[in-house]
Amino acid sequence: MNTDKVYLVGFMASGKSTVGRHLAARLRWRFEDIDHLIEVREQKTVAEIFARHGEAYFRTVEREMLGVLQPLRHVVIATGGGTFADPDNRAMINMDGASVWIDVPLNELVARIPLDGRRPLAADRPALEQLFAARVDKYRLAHLRVQASRSSASVVVDRILDALHSAPGNWLS
């Protein structure tokens, strides 16, 4: 297993991008955000991609971005909320680096999610709750789980680094 790459997984608004930037800075590694890369490539926001092309198209582009990032080493990658839910993506991520689930309870996530349409899958609260429940089972398949409830990005980074250093094998090289 490659130990010179960290994939941050978790539900929307769990802080993957913010924590990822801080973690990469601490490790002196590169940082990449899959949703941002998709927006740059498609020249549309995630919400626009969902509206114009649908979720299936978005998930195809997402998988392509994982392929583009796969050869990179010494990189922290913030995945999209649904990236790790896909079994093929999850297998690739878990073979390519350390997957870290940033675990935040649903009630806290709901408070963080803006109601401005930027999160297309968050528009319907009952559907959001179902999506969360379905994805949590997938997030549990990450190599490591870090509690991030009511914690600053720097505290979450400390927890991630502690988990990586104390996990079996040397996760950081």
For the beta sheet containing 144-147, the strands, ordered from the edge strand earlier in sequence to the opposite edge, are 30-33, 75-78, 5-9, 98-103, 144-147
Cβ–Cβ under 8 Å, residues 5 and 77: yes
Report the C-alpha dihedral over residues 43, 50, 6, 22, rounded to 10 degrees.
70
Q: What is the pLDDT of residue 85?
A: 96
Q: What is the pLDDT of residue 143?
A: 95
Q: What is the pLDDT of residue 118?
A: 60
Q: What is the pLDDT of residue 134?
A: 94
Q: What is the pLDDT of residue 128?
A: 82
Q: List residues bridging with 75 in a β-sheet.
A: 5, 30
Q: What is the pLDDT of residue 123?
A: 65
Cβ–Cβ under 8 Å, residues 78 and 33: yes
Say how many residues make up the chain.
173
pTM recorded for the entire structure:
0.92
Domains of the chain, earliest start first: 5-166 (3.40.50.300)
Q: State both tokens at 49.
A: 């991609």
Q: What is the pLDDT of residue 122?
A: 61
Neighbours of 7 (CB within 10 A): 30
Residue 18's nearest CA partner among 123, 156, 159, 125 is 156
* pLDDT digit string (tens) for the chain, length 173 residues: 457 999 999 998 899 999 999 999 999 999 999 999 999 999 999 989 998 999 999 999 999 999 999 999 999 999 999 999 999 999 999 999 999 999 999 989 888 776 655 656 566 778 888 999 999 999 999 999 999 999 999 999 999 999 998 877 656 65
Q: State both tokens at 101.
A: 């689930």
What span, in angstroms and rounded, lies between the C-alpha atoms of 29 and 75? 5
